[in-house]
A and B are shown apart, each in its own frame.
Chain A
Amino acid sequence: MARSAHYSKKDLLIELIRTNFKIKNNGSILGFIWVFLQPFFHFVILYFVFKFFRGSNPDENLAPKIMYALITFNFFRDGVIGGSSALLKYSSIITKVYFKRINIIHANLLINIIDFLLNIILITTIFSVFGKINLNLISSFYYLYIIILAVGFVYSLSLVLSIILIIVRDLRNMLKLIFQSLFWLSGIFYDLDSVRYSFRVLIYLNPISYVIDSVKKIVISGEVANLNLILILSLIVALSIPIAQYFFKRNIDKVIEYL
């Protein structure tokens, strides 16, 4: 099989990320600050609504819990929806020259990781000033491990869904609907422990919920929670990445001409 040109993967990724960043902020007065403002305004609304509902029984850590949960959920949502549409987004390039198409998925993932990490750094700084964070060396490593797990989860889903989306375009709308539902089922503004046991099983079927629950507990109280579930998810992610890569490599050539 013929393959044209010898590409520098690093240079291609840098250019795709740079381009995305510049276009996203093109013509905007606040520019890159929107990376923080969007989740912040969403947080403000959720915080005041749920503080009001809680009435006389306030949770003093409600603000950091919602904020950490929200940016973790946004990473999953934007990563999966963006990753699944990535090949379509770059179809005008993919159908004109050859380069390893998996780089498009990598670039999209890196763009989301950058936004995610910038948000984590900012909110950790802010909540540390207010003494709401309880991260030590061990809990920081556990938090980092959960982030890596989330990245792996989003990566493997992006690889598979990006191929399927080329054929089944309905998938984009389906994913939006799924993530709209998951927003209410992922424990963003409530603790999973407070959910009735019979419903909890349903919530635990959604891995985003216990990733978010683990993030909230490790960051705010330093508690290593859901260790068994996180280990099971680690195993699933570790197995799914090579399977997803194989699926992508095997099928990308079959679907590329339908872009």
Chain B
Amino acid sequence: MTQTAIKIKSLSKSFYTSQNTLRFLMDRFLPSRFQNKKDKVQVFEDINFEIKKGSFVGLIGPNGSGKTTLLRLIAGVYPPSNGKIQVNGKIVPFLELGVGFKPDLNAIDNIFLNGVILGMSRSFLKTKIEEILEFGGVKDFAHQQIKHFSSGMRIRLAFSIAVQSKADIYLLDEIMAVGDAKFKEKSLNKMKSLLSQNCTVVMTSHSENQIIENCEKVIYLNEGKIQFFGDVEKGIDLYRKDLEKNGV
């Protein structure tokens, strides 16, 4: 029997945009009759979908369509304005590589900090230090402050830490392949081996090829609604047509 990994029911999300503190306070803490509707931007309205365990789902849509916001909602970073998000299993969100990295700390200290933030234990990280430094190609710079690292070295280190985490559900926001061509290939293989263990993946990518190669289904998000959920090629086709219609 196929089980549900993520179930979204009647999800709506709006953000408050006014810089006026008093209006903000009234909006957030007083009953709705005192609220000013003009101060809100509606990102989603009444979104519904269900993702089965073990499936790879791509999230596509133009810039600003709310892909990252949807991943953040699923990860629990933001609360929904309305509706329900049901998640079955442990989630690791890769919404940004190197979350919490401190430039003044060395690579090893940052491995512990970033790893713990991503949900790994210190004892687990201790056993993985060598592997992380080796994979990221920064073994000779383990005791160097990462402010002296190139941006490529930093992103390789961040990716090497992130792929150590074990989860039932991965949320990937444009991080399938990072670094130079050589590391990109290495990271893609590592990602594929990590994701081949019957876990559920929701990924965003601006590379249509990546979505076609890796995903079984696609969610096309636009204008605050799900425009399509299903076959990858049909979804991408619809997305392309909409882009052409809008002259992009």
Contact = CB atoms under 8 A, between A and B. Distances in A.
Contacts of A18: 109, 112
Contact of A95 (B77, B79, B87, B117): B77
Contact of B74 (A2, A22, A23): A2
A59 interface: no
A197 interface: no
Interface string B101-133: 010110001001100111101100000000000
Interface in A1-59: 1-8, 11-12, 14-15, 18-19, 22-23, 26-27
A26 B102 CA distance: 11
A193 interface: no
Interface string B74-97: 111111100011110011110110
A256 interface: yes
Contacts of A253: 78-79
A199 interface: no
Nearest to A90: B100
A7 B119 contact: yes
Given A98-B77, A253-B79, A257-B15, A4 B28 contact: no
B interface SS class:
mixed
A202 interface: no
Given A5-B92, A258-B16, A11 B121 contact: yes
B98 to A, nearest CB: 10
Contacts of B175: none
A99 B73 contact: no
Contacts of A23: 102, 104-105
Nearest to A255: B28
A4 B76 contact: yes
A11 B122 contact: yes
Contacts of A138: none
A232 interface: no
Contact of A15 (B79, B95, B122): B122
Contacts of B109: 18-19, 22
B119 A167 contact: no
B25 interface: yes
A96 interface: yes
Contacts of A196: none
B167 interface: yes
A26 B106 CA distance: 11
A160 to B, nearest CB: 14
A1 B100 CA distance: 24
A258 B105 CA distance: 28
B246 interface: no
B228 interface: no
A11 B93 contact: no
Given A2-B74, A26-B105, A98-B77, 17 more contacts: A2-B87, A3-B91, A4-B119, A6-B90, A14-B122, A15-B122, A18-B109, A18-B112, A23-B104, A27-B104, A92-B99, A95-B77, A97-B117, A98-B76, A99-B117, A167-B28, A253-B78
3 A-B pairs with the lowest CB-CB distances in the bound complex, closest first: A5-B119, A4-B91, A2-B87
28 contacts: A1-B76, A1-B85, A2-B85, A2-B91, A4-B87, A4-B92, A4-B93, A5-B90, A5-B119, A6-B90, A11-B116, A12-B116, A15-B112, A15-B117, A19-B113, A23-B104, A26-B104, A26-B105, A92-B99, A92-B100, A96-B93, A96-B95, A167-B24, A254-B28, A255-B28, A256-B77, A257-B78, A258-B16
Interface of A: 1-8, 11-12, 14-15, 18-19, 22-23, 26-27, 92-99, 167-168, 253-258
